[in-house]
Amino acid sequence: MEIADVAVIGGGPAGASAAREAVGRGLSTLLFDHAHPRRKACGGGLPVKGIEWMDAPEEAIECRMTSISFAYGGTKLKVPVTKGKMVRRDDWDHYLFQRAAEAGAMHVKERVKQLERKDGAWVINGEYRARYVIGADGVNGFTRRHFMGPIPRQHLFAAAGYYLGLKPVENEVEFILGAIPGEGYLWIFPKADHYNIGYCYNAGTPGMKQALHRLMQERWPGEFVAPGKYRLATGEEVECLQFGSAIPSYNDPALFDTPVSGESWVLVGDAAGHVNPIHGEGLNHAALGGRLAARAIAEGDPTRFEEYWREHYAQEMYRAATSKRRVYRPLFMRLGFALGGTPAVFGLLAKLTRGEYEGRAMRNFWLRLPLALLQALFGMRHRGLVSA
C-alpha cells in the first residue's frame, strides 16, 4: 500500500485550506470527508479580523456587511464597516474544497472511524496510509477525541437558529445582548435572499430558544405552521429551516496552553478549539490555521504549528478567554452601553468591531471611563455613531 505524505481528515475551511497548502508545498495529500458537498450550520459571517486570510470569490459572497450593531436594554450602537462579507457555507466550503482537489489533493469520500499507528505511519480506516495526519473534522469530531479527548461541555457554546426566507432590507449584522441571563447573544445576519438568525450561548443556558422566538415575534410576528414553514401575521408563508451545532468557547485561557500537535499529527480549526471564546467566530482561524499546519508538516515538524498559530492569533484567543466572563456581566454591559456612544468609548468599540484594535481593550475601557462619564454628562456623542 502506497504511503501518502499527509491525510487531512475533514474538508471544511480548515481541512480544505490545509490540503491545498500541503499540495502546494509538494506533499501528496489525501482529503477525507464523507459529507461534501454539505451545508454546515453557521452564520456564514467572514470575520472582519483576518478577512485577508479567507479566500472568498465573488460568487460565494452573498452580501457585504455595511454595519455591525450591538443592542442591549433598549440602546443600540451601530458601527459602519466596510470589510465584512457574508457567505453561504455550502458555496464557500465547496469552493475551498474544489481548490484543494484541483491542486491535487485526493478526495476520499469516507468518514474516518479508525486511526492506528503502524510501522511509523498512520493507517486510516484500516486501508489508507499516511506519514502525518491533520485533524480538521470540527468540534469534538473523531480526531479531537482520538488525540486530545473531547472539549468539555462547559467550554462550548450551543449555537442554533433558522434560515428565515425574507429578503433583508439592509446589510446590517446585529448582535442582541442581554436577552436572557448568561454569556452569549442572539444574532440577525443578512444574506442574499434570507436572514440567518440564531442564538449562541454557553451550552446548557436556560431559555435560549425561547429568547430567539421572542425576538422573531418582535421583528416578524407570526407562527410556525409546519417544520420549516413560518406564517407571517400578513398571511404570507416563508421557509424557515432550522440549524444548530456546538462551537468551542474556552472559558479558561489555560486550555490554550495544551499543545494541539504531536510528532506526526496536528489539529486545526474547531478541532483545535481555535475559536474566539467571546463571540464564537472561527472561520478566520480555520482558514489560516489549516495553512499553517500544512506548513509545519512540510517543514518536517508538526509541533511548529504551536509557534505559528501563536504568532498569528493566540493573543486574541487568550484575551478573549480571560475577559469573556467580565464582558458578559450585566454591570459591564450596562456601563458599556450607557457610555458606548461617547467619543471616549465609541472609538474603542468601533476599532474592536472593525478588527483594528490590538491592545488590551478591557483595560483601555476602564482607563477611559472617567473621561467617558464626563462626556456623557455633557451629552457628547461620537460623530461616527450611526444611530442610538
Ligand X SMILES: Cc1cc2nc3c(=O)[nH]c(=O)nc-3n(C[C@H](O)[C@H](O)[C@H](O)COP(=O)(O)OP(=O)(O)OC[C@H]3O[C@@H](n4cnc5c(N)ncnc54)[C@H](O)[C@@H]3O)c2cc1C
**Residue whose CB is less far from ligand X, 97 or 230:** 97
Q: 284, 183, 163, 292: which is closest to 228 by C-alpha?
A: 163
| Choice from 11, 178, 184, 341 touching ligand X (CB under 6 A) | 11
Return the range that interacts with ligand X (CB under 6 A); candidates 40-48, 311-319, 335-343, 354-362: 40-48
The answer, yes or no, to whether the previous bond of 37 is cis (omega within 30 of 0) is yes
| Grid coordinates belonging to 227 | 417544520
Query: What is the C-alpha to C-alpha distance for residues 45 and 304, in angstroms, rounded to an integer?
Result: 29
Query: What is the C-alpha to C-alpha distance for residues 99 and 236, in angstroms, rounded to an integer?
Result: 40
| Beta carbon of residue 236, minimum distance to ligand X (angstroms, whole number) | 26
| Choice from 111, 229, 312, 354 touching ligand X (CB under 6 A) | 111
At 241, the amino acid letter reads L
Return the range that interacts with ligand X (CB under 6 A); candidates 13-21, 77-85, 176-184, 345-353: 13-21
**Residue whose CB is less far from ligand X, 32 or 346:** 32
Q: Is 273 in the site for ligand X (CB under 6 A)?
A: no
Query: What is the C-alpha to C-alpha distance for residues 197 and 199, in angstroms, rounded to an integer?
Result: 7
Helix residue spans in the chain (DSSP H): 13-24, 89-103, 142-147, 208-219, 283-298, 304-309, 315-327, 330-339, 343-353, 361-377
Stretch 350-379 residues interacting with ligand X (CB under 6 A)? none
| Beta carbon of residue 374, minimum distance to ligand X (angstroms, whole number) | 37
| Beta carbon of residue 3, minimum distance to ligand X (angstroms, whole number) | 19
Return the range that interacts with ligand X (CB under 6 A); candidates 66-74, 127-135, 136-144, 338-346: 136-144
Query: What is the C-alpha to C-alpha distance for residues 173 and 190, in angstroms, rounded to an integer?
Result: 6
| Choice from 7, 48, 81, 159 touching ligand X (CB under 6 A) | 159
Evaluate the CA torsion angle 374, 376, 380, 383 in order and state its sign: positive
Q: Is 286 in the site for ligand X (CB under 6 A)?
A: yes
Return the range that interacts with ligand X (CB under 6 A); candidates 28-36, 55-63, 209-217, 255-263: 28-36
**Phi then psi dihedrals of residue 179, to 5 deg:** -65, -35
Stretch 306-345 residues interacting with ligand X (CB under 6 A)? none
Residues near ligand X (CB under 6 A), total: 39
| Choice from 4, 7, 19, 42 touching ligand X (CB under 6 A) | 42
Buried b (16+ CB within 10 A) or exposed e, 313-326: bbebbbbbbbbbee
Q: Is 184 in the site for ligand X (CB under 6 A)?
A: no
Q: Is 136 in the site for ligand X (CB under 6 A)?
A: yes
Residue 242, classed as helix, strand or coil, is strand
| Grid coordinates belonging to 3 | 504511503
Q: Is 156 in the site for ligand X (CB under 6 A)?
A: no
| Beta carbon of residue 276, minimum distance to ligand X (angstroms, whole number) | 8
What is the DSSP code (8-state) at residue 48?
A: S
What track of x and - describes contact with ligand X for positions 194 through 233 (by CB under 6 A)? ----x-----------------------------------
Q: Is 168 in the site for ligand X (CB under 6 A)?
A: no
Q: Is 9 in the site for ligand X (CB under 6 A)?
A: yes
Q: Is 283 in the site for ligand X (CB under 6 A)?
A: yes
| Beta carbon of residue 367, minimum distance to ligand X (angstroms, whole number) | 30
Query: What is the C-alpha to C-alpha distance for residues 150 and 142, in angstroms, rounded to an integer?
Result: 9
Q: Is 138 in the site for ligand X (CB under 6 A)?
A: yes
Q: What does the DSSP assignment read for 92-154?
A: HHHHHHHHHHHHTPEEE------EEEETTEEEETTTEEEEEEEE-S-TT-HHHHHHT-PPPGG
- Contact footprint for ligand X (CB under 6 A): 9-15, 32-35, 38, 40-45, 47, 111-112, 136-138, 141-142, 159, 198, 245, 247, 269-271, 275, 280-283, 286
